[in-house]
Amino acid sequence: MKQVAKLYNNGRGVRNVSFDVAQGDIFGLIGPNGAGKTTLLKMLTGLMRPDRGTIHIFGHSVTERFEQAMERVGCIVETADAYDYMSAYDNLKLSARFYPDLPRSRIGQALEQVGLAQYANERVGGYSLGMKQRLALASALLSNPRMVVLDEPTNGLDIEGMVDIRNTIRRLAQEHEITFLISSHMIHDLSLIANRVGIMNKGSLIRLGEANEWLRDGMTLEQYVVTHLQASKEADDDDE
């Protein structure tokens, strides 16, 4: 992602953000509400077009070669939505059609992976928020992606669900070298799995850090983030 910018009429948005994510990274995007995290992920997944800058996934430009760029990407952006009038199985069947080489059995596996196998044939309209979140995760993982983009993946999940998702992410990153780009305000969750973080504030990426950076300084990720947000605020105050 190079010099990516997207500004809304109210002056908010994303300003000149650049960063790379390496294969196998679990990259956490952290920042307060309105920092521009979701806008950034929406541009990454083609839901929004950047005003400026370029975004490449596995060497393919998202704006120019979208199909190739998204071929091995799974994602949940903003909310975990699904077709309420269909079953979980049918929802995943729709997604599976985009991947001709995917065996039909993969749908059952994905549902099992997120603990929804026994509810596979129930209408999603009757699901709880947590179950919908799990279904969205199953949909993101369905195509055996090389990269997974998750926006607030633990929203609506109970503690057990959060632990499950954390473990799933860690296992997939380690065993299959899947790259994860996760936006979350749950700093504790990210501190347990992320090996790199980007801190966003007011549309800008104010810090890119490695896990060993905050550990070396004897900080928790939370302390590290707060320190940099505070420094950014003071710099803004000085400018004014």
How many residues sit in the footprint of other proteins (CB under 8 A)? 30
Query: Which of residues 79 and 195 has its CB atom nearest to other proteins in the complex?
Result: 79
Query: Which of residues 20 and 84 has its CB atom nearest to other proteins in the complex?
Result: 84
Per the CB < 8 A criterion, the answer to whether 72 and 146 are in contact is: yes
100 binds other proteins (CB under 8 A): yes
Q: How far is the CB of 38 from other proteins (least distance, A)?
A: 11
40 binds other proteins (CB under 8 A): no
Binding segment toward other proteins, per CB under 8 A, in 18-26, 47-55, 175-183, 214-222:
47-55
| Single residue of 84, 158, 177, 236 touching other proteins by CB under 8 A | 84
Q: Are strands 60-61 and 13-17 parallel, antiparallel or unpaired?
A: unpaired
147 binds other proteins (CB under 8 A): no
**In one letter, which amino acid is 222?**
E
**Which residue has 């950034």 as its token pair?**
40
Per the CB < 8 A criterion, the answer to whether 185 and 218 are in contact is: no
Q: Concatenated DSSP letters for 46-57?
A: TSS--SEEE-EE
Could you tell me which of 95, 93, 106 has the C-alpha nearest to residue 73?
95
Could you tell me which of 217, 226, 231 has the C-alpha nearest to residue 30?
226
98 binds other proteins (CB under 8 A): yes
203 binds other proteins (CB under 8 A): no
Other beta carbons less than 10 A from residue 165's beta carbon:
21
At residue 53's C-alpha, the angle toward residues 49 and 55, to 5°, is 70
| Single residue of 54, 66, 117, 166 touching other proteins by CB under 8 A | 66
Binding segment toward other proteins, per CB under 8 A, in 10-18, 46-54, 170-178, 226-234:
46-54
Q: Which residues bind other proteins (CB under 8 A)?
A: 42, 45-49, 66-71, 73, 75, 77-79, 81-86, 90, 94-95, 97-98, 100, 139
